[in-house]
Amino acid sequence: MKKIKLIFFHPYSLGGGSDNSLYRLIKRLNKKIYDIDFISLNKSILKNKITNINFIKLSASRTILSIFEIRKILKKYQKQKKYKKIIMISNQNFANLVAIFSKYKLSFIKLITVDRNHIDELHFFKNYLDFIKKKIILILMKLFYKKADVRIGISRKLSKDLSDLVNSKIKTVYSPSFDKNIIKLAKNQNIKLKKNEKFFICVSRFSKRKDHNTLLAAFSMIKEKKQFKLILVGFGPEEKNIRLLIKKHNLENDVLMIKNLHNPFWLIKKSSLLIITSVYEGFPNVIVEALTLNTPVISTNMNAGASEILLNGRGGDLVKVGDVLNLSKKIINFIADPSKLKNKMRKAREKLFRFDVELHHRIYNKIFKNV
């Protein structure tokens, strides 16, 4: 029986939500049915976690420069007759565009694009050059996204807003973040803390869009904070600035930063509260993971995902993006009476089946079969 060739394109496989989602999908795919390539610009973090697939590291220094290299890889399958079908799965808007251009006139390859960030991402920029770059991406998305055979968004709000932008149908497939394996992983105590120490936790990349400034400003306003530490788990370019913010708010004795922790689940389980302050997301996996581990959540009501997971505030507390005062009030309310937020959490936990890894796997198998 001929196999189906799957080519996953994820330019920067560094860890985080996208890699976790891809890992949870790929490791469940039947290797007797699928032959899998994983293409990235860096050495994928998944290489030591998944066997029986072919990892390809591109020589290009930037995603936009990889078009001809990817096209060369795709064209080698043109003369082969060994596969039942060939499907490319790209991740993130800029990579999706590169994938579309790379398979130009290669109609024998089917393309599935997956958007993992809300289009709000393209309305935030670091400088004028970044502004121009993102405006170009928006224009190209409007012009070319319809060229993909299947377009996927990882939350309903993301899919709706993306559909309005590109005037094409977007299928919603939730991120596979309800994974009961993390309950086992949470038993591994990999960080030593003081006995009976209480703390809140934020697990997110150290980047501007995660808005640690709002989190630290809100935490600094809590007089009762001496009862709790705040632990920041992550990695990324804003580490130095976050340390400066900790110093600015006089929180050196109250905040602990932990870098590159591949298994944060013991800390999430032990934490009294998960706090997320992102400006935008696609689907914040860590919220589902916290709920799976019975940890209540306060999150910004960013575009998108959080409100869907937390049932529009019935399954956890939501605050406006950047609202320092309201976030501090929500934390103070939790300290005063944790039971209210814990009762909300139970409602959200009842709906976690929507994000189940096995359901996600079945949906993708169906997509691969029908594309």
| pLDDT (tens digit per residue) in 197-224 | 899 999 999 999 999 999 999 999 987 6
Q: Report d(CA 57, CA 42) in Å as an integer.
A: 6
Q: How confident is the model at residue 254 (pLDDT cuts 50, 70, 90)?
A: very high
Q: Across residues 322-347, what is the average pLDDT?
A: 96
pLDDT of residue 71: 95
User: pLDDT tens-digit profile of 218-244?
Assistant: 999 987 657 899 999 999 999 999 999
Q: Where are the alpha helices (DSSP H) in the chain?
A: 17-26, 67-75, 93-102, 128-144, 156-166, 181-185, 212-220, 239-248, 265-270, 285-292, 306-309, 324-336, 338-349, 357-370
Within the chain, what is the greatest distance between any pair of CA atoms?
A: 69
Residue 227 has a pLDDT of: 86
- Going along the chain from its start, the domains and CATH numbers come out as 3-176+356-370 (3.40.50.2000), 181-354 (3.40.50.2000)
- What's the confidence (pLDDT) of residue 80? 75
Q: CA 235 to CA 150: how far, in whole Å?
A: 32
- pLDDT bucket at 100, cuts 50 / 70 / 90: very high
What pTM was computed for the model? Answer: 0.93
The per-residue pLDDT for 225 is: 58
pLDDT tens figures, 152-190? 999 999 999 999 999 999 999 999 999 999 999 999 887
Tell me the pLDDT of the chain averaged across its residues: 94
